[in-house]
Structures are given as C-alpha cells and as structure tokens.
Amino acid sequence: MAEAKTSAAYLHIAERSLDDAKVLLSHPDKKHCAGAFYLCGYGVECALKALLLNRSTMAQRPKVLKWFYGKPGHDLDAIRKKLRDRGRPVPGACQLEAGLWPERGAG
C-alpha cells in the first residue's frame, strides 16, 4: 500500500479499516473478532492522523508525516497529545466510555 500523505488519504484508510472490521464482525462464527478489533484500532489511529494533519500548517506537515512513521506515530496517546497541543483535544478511552454510558461512570 502506498504511504498516505494527506488528511484525505488517512481518512480514507480509516473508513476502509472500519468497513473491513464490520465485515469481520458480521461473520457468523465470530472467529475474526481479534482481527476486527485490530482494524478498529488502526482505523482510529488513521482518523486521528487525518485530524492532526488537518490541524497542521503546510510547513508542519512534512515533519508530522515523518513523525507518523516513528514509534510515537502509532501511539494513540502521543497522537492525542499532539492534537491537544494544536488546540484540538480528543477525549481518552475512559472519557469516551463515560460519555457514551454515563451510568457506568468514568474509568
């Protein structure tokens, strides 16, 4: 697969990964759940990368793209921190869970 270099390309990969995950989860024998969860995580990673590129200046983008290919570029918390630094905070998993299911509480 060619390297994504634009926000639109990362968003396309995110959408495709989530679509693939849905297919795996719809399989009747449920043997592919681990693969579906992996693809969901990858989809989230690519969506966050799309947002980060979108929130970066043209001058920042080459450095951001290079950063994506290092270890921190696959760390959702590191990507979230970069987004927060650019004024676009993204809730963490516990915050999202508490927001989606308030009756469960945080954490």
31-53 pLDDT, tens digit each: 888 888 899 989 999 999 999 99
pLDDT tens digits along 21-34: 999 988 888 788 88
**Look-up: residue for tokens 């990673």?**
45
**Look-up: residue for tokens 């969901």?**
40
Q: Could you give the CA distance from residue 80 to residue 46 in angstroms, rounded to a whole number?
A: 12
Asked whether the CA dihedral 19, 21, 22, 23 is positive or negative, the reply is positive
The whole-model pTM stands at: 0.79
